[in-house]
Amino acid sequence: MSKLDIITLPDPILRQMCVPVERVDDALRRLADDMLEAMYEAPGIGLAAPQVGVSRRLIVLDVSEKDGEKNPIVMVNPEIVHFGDERRSYEEGCLSIPDVKVEIERPAGLTVRFLDRDGRAQQLMAEGLLSTAIQHEIDHLDGRLIIDYLSRLKRDIIVRRFKKQARTETA
């Protein structure tokens, strides 16, 4: 069982702008490993630090096939430096908003700059699902959620449902 709990709506940390990671050290690598464990257990293909209660610019991803070999990616302070011209729609889910799917159109490709788990500067060109997952997780670092791509009415209905559910769980 994962050491980390995935935070769900309406927790306010999901709306905060995360601060950059200042140092890649053993504690950060442990956090990244724990995040990967929580992500695989959920199961999901990406997880951002605020989703486990840490307001830092750190994301983990793995878009490999379920039954295939794992290919985890750790991105510290990821920054998109270029978007491709093509766009694609994808029905996105979010571990912090269970059972909600939102069709979102995003750039189909991108180039992202980040530090890896050893603190080395990296640049990655991504297409398709990996590109979508990177954009989704970076949205989390900026306090943005998939429901922000919906109309205000639909978004408010979902937020009310999760607030009511949170009240019921704490009562």
Dump the DSSP string for 2-56.
-SSPPP-TT-GGGGSPPBPP----HHHHHHHHHHHHHHHHTT-SEEEGGGGT--B
Contact status, residue 112 vs residue 126, Cβ threshold 8 Å: yes
| Three-class DSSP labels, 69-94 | CCCCEEEEEEEEEEECCCEEEEEEEC
Contact status, residue 38 vs residue 129, Cβ threshold 8 Å: no
N-to-C CA span, the chain: 26
Specify whether 137 is catalytic: yes
Among candidate residues 36, 115, 47, the one with its CA nearest the CA of residue 75: 115
Give the three-class secondary structure for 101. Answer: strand
Query: One of 69, 79, 127, 137 is an active-site residue; which one?
Result: 137
Active-site residue set: 137
